[in-house]
Amino acid sequence: MTSSARAVIDLDVVGDRISRHIYGHFAEHLGRCIYDGFWVGEDSTIPNTRGIRTDVVEALRALDIPNLRWPGGCFADTYHWRDGIGPREQRPKIANTNWGDVVESNHFGTHEFMDLCDLLGTEAYVNGNVGSGTVQEMSEWVEYLTRDDDSPMARLRRENGRDEPWRVPFWGIGNEPWGCGGNLSPEFYAEEARRYATYCHDHGENRLTLIAAGANEDDFEWTRVLVKTLVESHAANLYDKHPYQAISFHYYTHTGSGINREDATTFSDEQFYDTMAYARDFERVVRGHVAVMDSYDPENRVSLVCDEWGTWWNAEKGTNPGFLFQQNTIRDALVAGIHFDIFHRYARRISMANIAQTVNVLQAMILTDGEKLVLTPTYHVFEMNKGHQDARALAAHVLDAPATTARGGELPLVSMSASTKEGAALISLTHLSADDECEVRIDLRGRGARVVRARVLGAESATTYNDADVPDRVEPRPLATALDGGELVVTMPPHSFATIELALD
């Protein structure tokens, strides 16, 4: 069956800039993300640059990834950075108590991470340790990374082979303090964040954006306490700038039965729709955090960061459950499409987002299998959408779309966003029907336009995925488009994601 939908885009109503950092990534010392994912070591037979996998770097460079968060996650609050510097064979081993209870070699540390950022052409988002660390430890890590001259930490860095300071624009003050980051109350953490932030200095030319660790999903009270403490301390003139500049939150998608409860590749239509409803509910959550922040910070001086998002399914059978290795289907790609539409709509307040995680963990871009590398459907959404980075959001509305019911509410089956930069526009469409195709007619207003390229990501079934045997089952393919007067007409296959690139008159 073919359903129909109507939408409108005002090509001349240009809104907020969509920060490229919304397309950020996350690499934790968890399972096979770092070891066996990014890092194989210099002696590996797998081609590498100073121990970092070449094929992984090449695949990620094609995404223009703007920032990479490291070393956690929960791991961040057990990580002591001095364990990961100096000659590798002399670094102490530690237990990774959060993830699989395995022994961590510390072979991938600060220098290796900054080298990875250089190879990827991306910016560093380092997450410091509040839960089991100290203010001094965090302060010295900032100094080690970013200070020139001959201060004690700059000297130590030089002794370890790096002369120039690095540029580190983003710094996280702990992670999930309501849970693995210390089981703290919001009031206690708000004070701690302010204290830690005070000693994370801007050395030389480096300017840190300090990010306080925020809420789980729709815990708006956590955000309220953080933003209130921040704004009040600023108003009391305790600081000449806000002690931290951003507040984060985390949102993982599943069917509603909880994280880590259902299979990544085997699911019913009902579970598919429940997943889509959970992903669309992200908009309510964002709206709530934004409303709380608006009420204390109407001038938009503190930004919102979603530094963990994505699907969380059961670990694949036969793998260590603590490694969170999951396959990635069309369903995951559509979850990504829905999230990006929401990020674009709230670009005024949201300055950054980080998918969890980049390689071999949760909703990954890349899965590695020995020497083989698989690009997931989610990878392709990031690639198809990369033109939104630093573009201006366009007024884009779905007026009329088929809907179904899921998780007790109405689930509209078409999601859309659009942006413009440099005389071009990019439209993203996510179609959620499990069975039907949908003719989408988009009224393009305000400027003339012609289609430069249109691509669609889909497959026979929403359960389809790529693997080492067949790595190209899911890949973007050309999408037919027609311009009918001022209307752009496309037919979206069932459960598909598409991007349409326009040149504007």
Question: Among residues 51, 66, 71, 73, which is the contact residue for ligand AHR, using CB under 6 A?
Answer: 73
Q: How far is CA 436 from the centre of its chain?
A: 30
Of 89-97, 108-116, 157-165, 355-363, the segment contacting ligand AHR by CB under 6 A is 355-363
Cβ at position 312, least distance to ligand AHR in Å: 8
Residue 192 lies near ligand AHR (rule: CB under 6 A): no
Residue 128 lies near ligand AHR (rule: CB under 6 A): no
147 close to 190: Cβ distance less than 8 angstroms: no
Handedness of CA 158, 162, 165, 169 (dihedral sign): negative
Q: State how far the Cα of 271 lies from the Cα of 251, in Å rounded to an integer.
A: 18
Residues in contact with 256: Cβ distance below 8 Å, sequence separation at least 6, in sequence order: 274, 277, 278, 407
Q: State how far the Cα of 505 lies from the Cα of 499, in Å rounded to an integer.
A: 19
Cβ at position 306, least distance to ligand AHR in Å: 12
Beta bridge partners of 392: 17, 420
Side-chain-facing half-sphere of 339: CA atoms under 13 Å: 32
What does the per-residue mask of binding to ligand AHR show for 289-328, with x meaning CB under 6 A?
-------------------x--------------------
Residues in contact with 134: Cβ distance below 8 Å, sequence separation at least 6, in sequence order: none
Query: Binders of ligand AHR among 357-416, rule CB under 6 A?
Result: 357, 362
Of 39-47, 71-79, 221-229, 326-334, the segment contacting ligand AHR by CB under 6 A is 71-79
Q: How far is CA 448 from the centre of its chain?
A: 34
Cβ at position 224, least distance to ligand AHR in Å: 21
Q: How would you classify the pairing of strands 246-253 and 209-216?
A: parallel
Size of the site for ligand AHR (CB under 6 A): 10
Residue 176 lies near ligand AHR (rule: CB under 6 A): yes
Tell me whether residue 4 or residue 97 sits nearer to ligand AHR (CB atom): 97
Tell me whether residue 353 or residue 356 sits nearer to ligand AHR (CB atom): 356
Cβ at position 76, least distance to ligand AHR in Å: 8
Cα R_g (the chain), whole angstroms: 22
Cβ at position 327, least distance to ligand AHR in Å: 17
Cβ at position 106, least distance to ligand AHR in Å: 18
Asked whether the bond before 357 is cis by omega within 30 degrees of 0, the reply is: yes
Q: Which residue is nearest to ligand AHR (CB)?
A: 73
Question: Exposure string (b/e) for 69-99, b if CB count within 10 Å is 16 or more?
Answer: bbbbbbbbbbbebbebbbebeebeebebebb
Return the SS3 of 278. Answer: helix
Tell me whether residue 49 or residue 183 sits nearer to ligand AHR (CB atom): 183
425 close to 449: Cβ distance less than 8 angstroms: yes
| 164 catalytic residue (yes or no) | no
Residue of 140, 176, 192, 383 marked catalytic = 176
Residue 175 lies near ligand AHR (rule: CB under 6 A): yes
Cβ at position 174, least distance to ligand AHR in Å: 10
303 close to 351: Cβ distance less than 8 angstroms: yes
Residue 74 lies near ligand AHR (rule: CB under 6 A): yes
Residue 354 lies near ligand AHR (rule: CB under 6 A): no
Q: How far is CA 323 from the centre of its chain?
A: 19
Tokens of residue 247, six digits: 């507040």
| 176 catalytic residue (yes or no) | yes
Query: Binders of ligand AHR among 25-44, rule CB under 6 A?
Result: 28
Tell me whether residue 362 or residue 457 sits nearer to ligand AHR (CB atom): 362
Q: State how far the Cα of 141 lies from the Cα of 183, in Å rounded to an integer.
A: 24
Tell me whether residue 356 or residue 394 sits nearer to ligand AHR (CB atom): 356
Q: State how far the Cα of 246 lies from the Cα of 193, in Å rounded to an integer.
A: 11
9 close to 394: Cβ distance less than 8 angstroms: yes
In the block, tokens 């005002």 appear at: 10
Residue of 140, 192, 308, 383 marked catalytic = 308
Question: Among residues 356, 384, 416, 459, which is the contact residue for ligand AHR, using CB under 6 A?
Answer: 356
Residue 72 lies near ligand AHR (rule: CB under 6 A): yes
Of 72-80, 191-199, 221-229, 344-352, the segment contacting ligand AHR by CB under 6 A is 72-80
Counts of helices then strands in the chain (DSSP H, E): 10, 26
Return the SS3 of 488. Answer: strand
Asked whether the bond before 92 is cis by omega within 30 degrees of 0, the reply is: no
Tell me whether residue 248 or residue 466 sits nearer to ligand AHR (CB atom): 248
Residue 104 lies near ligand AHR (rule: CB under 6 A): no
Tell me whether residue 264 or residue 396 sits nearer to ligand AHR (CB atom): 264
Cβ at position 432, least distance to ligand AHR in Å: 25
Cβ at position 313, least distance to ligand AHR in Å: 13
List residues with catalytic annotation: 176, 308
Given the rule CB under 6 A, which residues bind ligand AHR?
28, 72-74, 175-176, 308, 356-357, 362
